[in-house]
Amino acid sequence: MRIIVKQIPEEGLYLKEQIRPEELDLDTDLIKLRSPVNVEGRVTRITNALTVELDVRADFSVECSRCLKEFEWAVEKNLQLNYPLQASDVFIELNPDIREEMILDYPIKPLCDLNCKGLCSKCGKNKNEGGCNCGST
Ligand SMILES: [Zn+2]
Ligand SMILES: [Zn+2]
């Protein structure tokens, strides 16, 4: 997602875009983006700087680090980004900063539920779905 500096009118630029998952490269082993990321916001130019205010919405599919079940995770985030402008700047590329801001919120150990009971260490059964006969607690 690029902003062409010359195209920003004095009153600011309204933005509404979808960024394709492959442009953001947000996937990790446990966390996958399920659909394009929705971005809406405003760009304002002040002599030597751009201020970009964005509402970012993304839907992820996450694997629970305890029971390995997939669950949905919706993220909605408000970003405020600032870019100093050089006279030679033709455009500003926003994707790297959007990516970084989203990844900041990634849980290190995602859980489907705070009380997720995980898998039985003996038989591998998902203990959220009932007990097993191994006698482990
Ligand atoms: Zn779980
Ligand atoms: Zn078991």
| Residue 136 pLDDT > 60 | no
- Are residues 29 and 35 in contact, defined by beta-carbon separation less than 8 angstroms? no
Question: What pLDDT, in 10s, does the model give residues 28-78?
Answer: 999 999 999 999 999 999 888 999 999 999 999 999 999 999 999 999 999
Tokens of 100: 């970084």
Q: How far is the CA of 24 from the centre of ligand 1 (A)?
A: 27
Buried/exposed 47-83: b ≥16 CB within 10 Å, e otherwise: eeebebebebebebebbbbbbeeeeebeeeeebebeb
Give residue 31's pLDDT.
96
Give residue 47's pLDDT.
84
Q: How far is the CA of 64 from the centre of ligand 2 (A)?
A: 18
Question: What pLDDT, in 10s, does the model give residues 88-98?
Answer: 889 999 999 99
DSSP letters along 81-96, please? EEEE--TT--EEE-HH
Q: At a CB cut-off of 8 Å and minimum separation 6, what does 47 contact?
A: none
Counting ligands in written order, which one lies closest to the CA of residue 62?
1
pLDDT bucket at 134, cuts 50 / 70 / 90: confident
Q: How far is the CA of 136 from the centre of ligand 2 (A)?
A: 7
How do the domains of the chain map onto residue ranges? Answer: 2-129
Burial class (CB in 10 A: 0-12, 13-18, 19+), 23: middle
- Are residues 125 and 66 in contact, defined by beta-carbon separation less than 8 angstroms? no
| Residue 137 pLDDT > 70 | no
